Structure 1
Amino acid sequence: MFRHGIQTIDAKPMSDLNTTPLIDVMLVLLIMFLVAIPVMTHKIPMTVPAGPPMIGEPTATHRLDITAQGALLWDGAAISTPELAMRLDAVVADPAAPALEVAAAPQARYERVNRVLATIARSGAQRVGFVGNREFAGGF
């Protein structure tokens, strides 16, 4: 016991657990989960055919390219986003049901590709395929 003035102070060690680092770690984990969860749940609902390709007479296809700068090319010709919606409406209305092949450049912004895919999904196109995915197969 130490004497400090008139009062005596016991110099016992503290036996309480220090919870400050635990709380700090929990807050960091909470923030990480809050940031990561919206990214993991973001998706565009789209039905993509599965299984082997159909054998028989080849059907008509249209190709939609998304360049690295975000420009759209419909069968090689440049189009704007409103024109894309009109052409997709024509594809959906066509009784021959042509397929749509989508090819995005590796440097294209995700946001631009996502908006184009959302436009395709809103149009109701059922026969949609993705071209050029093999170059991304080993990247993940």
Structure 2
Amino acid sequence: MADINTTPLVDVMLVMLIIFLLTIPAVLDTVPVKLPPVVFDPTQTKPENVLLTVRAENDDGTGACKVYWGKSEVDSTKLLELGQTKLEKLIADVGGAENITDETMPEVHIRGDVMTPYKCIGGVIYTMQYAGYQRIGFISEPAPGSATIPRL
């Protein structure tokens, strides 16, 4: 007798399939949240914003970090000093911290090279937060063909 009866095997597999179909939704149950739609918001450049560029010293992502304030290279101490000085000047220009509004609050815009290690960008974020900046954002290049949709 060279034939194998596959009917019991098919029966067991169908039962297993039904069990998995019933248990997977229970396992994948998550906390319900409303996620925002994916939209690229165009950056509004204001004169009080700080533009920083962060990149690794080597193109392979290894080595020291290079940080540029505008086009001049700065180290972390100089970055902190420049950030605090600019923020203090802005606060003095508007007449004190109580007069700063959402429109006058300066932002830090970070342009990070794709090969830059996280430690470099994380260090810049920490330094600018320590300097007193509350809004820190990243400048990115939208994917080709993606639309920019303004918020209403």
Tell me the TM-score normalized by structure 1.
0.49
Q: Which has the higher contact order (CA 8 A, sep 6+)?
A: 2
Tell me the TM-score normalized by structure 2.
0.46
Instruction: From the CA coordinates, give the structure whose radius of gyration is larger.
Output: 1
